[in-house]
Amino acid sequence: MTLRDRVAVAGVGRTELSKNSGVSTLTLALRAIRAALDDAGLSLRDVDGVATHGVGDSAPAPVVAAALGIRDVAFMLNQSGGGGLSATVVGYAAAAIATGQAEVVVCWRAINARSEFRMGGTGRDAPPLAEFQYQVPYGYLAPPQQFAMLARELLDGGALDERVLGTVSVTQRANAARNPRAMLRTPLSLDDYLASPWVVEPLRLLDCCLETDAAVALVLTSAARARDLARPPVLIRAFATGGGDTLYSTRRTTLAPSAAALMAPRLFGAAGLRPEDIDVAELYDAFTPLVPLQLEDYGLCPPGGAAEFILAGQTAIGGRLPVNTHGGHLSEGYVHGLNHVAEAVDQLRGDAGDRQVAGARTALVSAQPGYVGGVTSALILGGSR
């Protein structure tokens, strides 16, 4: 059974993006869910499914379901894991609706990642990864350290240089300047990027995503029901997962291409589309090297052509394939991937204001491409306008 166009995103809700929300992750989740239901024109009485992911830093699905007053939860997804799972929350919820397990599912990610549980910060439980015991003695713990290894391989191999990484950061900041929700809106130049301090060489401060307190929620229901609701439905054309290797896998001799390269043919096949059919791409950008990597791994530019594609301005609004039109994790805020889905919905509804991509009908949304936790996922969404 195909998922294609059977389920739709009917509502989107967001809280403010900030460095200190002043409230719990449960409160953030409930505020975003309420906003998403209002956007869809639905009520709490309509909800019979809940779905989220987290790494011990959020309000779990059973707690949120109870707080919403859902007495008989027909579908519940409470995934333990990070950014590689961000698309699975939506994909699995869509599958539950398509197979009749639930009728209306709310998906969310709530995180106090600046004021409370910082990624890689102290005071956290060790992740349940066997290789972690081999990292701790060397102080190799935080995400910037991990992804610096990928950046070093790409730079040393000649696939990228600092101008390319800088252009990713500068271009996404220009997009964020058009986004009233974005945390960082001051324009950047390449000189600004080059002057930013090292975090873990070769990654500078402006190569790294923001630490953000926020929540984003989506309401999913059948495409047939969504057509009668308050907002234009955005259809889920395809969903796929992939992976199996991590940064430390003994099966890998190189870090590129990523797990997304293996998954991409299945994703596009499920959608009945080709990479050149994508109008806008919201690519997981915890760190700048992930953008050129995924452009090639998803076939969105020619093999070996990501650097030229980016430097030529093709990922800017008005370019061949606008990427991270909201500013992405680098400049809008880091809501662990779900804000990318919300931005794709805005684009396909025509709700993106000054950052709207003209004629956007199809969007690719990717999760972290599999390096941490060994899993990746992605969605292709289609507009109905």
Q: What is the pLDDT of residues 82-114, one digit of tens each?
A: 899 999 999 999 999 999 999 999 999 999 988
Q: Looking at 193, 248, 334, 371, which residue is catalytic? A: 334
d(CA 209, CA 329) in angstroms, rounded, equals 5
334 labelled catalytic: yes
227-236 pLDDT, tens per residue? 999 999 999 9
140 labelled catalytic: no
What value does the mean pLDDT of the chain take? Answer: 94
Amino acid identity of 140? Answer: Y
Average the pLDDT over 287-303 and give the result.
Answer: 98
Owner of token pair 């989220």: 52
Whether residue 88 is contained in a domain is answered as: yes
With a cut of 70, say whether residue 121 has pLDDT above it: no
Confidence at residue 56, expressed as pLDDT on a 0 to 100 scale = 80
Whether residue 151 is contained in a domain is answered as: no
Q: How many domains does the chain have?
A: 1
Whether residue 51 is contained in a domain is answered as: yes
What pTM value is reported for the model? 0.96
Whether residue 22 is contained in a domain is answered as: yes
CATH classification at residue 327: 3.40.47.10
Q: Looking at 92, 284, 298, 371, which residue is catalytic? A: 284
Q: How confident is the model at residue 331 (pLDDT cuts 50, 70, 90)?
A: very high
Q: How confident is the model at residue 245 (pLDDT cuts 50, 70, 90)?
A: confident
Domain that residue 87 falls in = 7-117+210-383
Q: How confident is the model at residue 161 (pLDDT cuts 50, 70, 90)?
A: very high
Closest listed residue to residue 256, CA positions, set 372, 156, 153: 153
Whether residue 288 is contained in a domain is answered as: yes
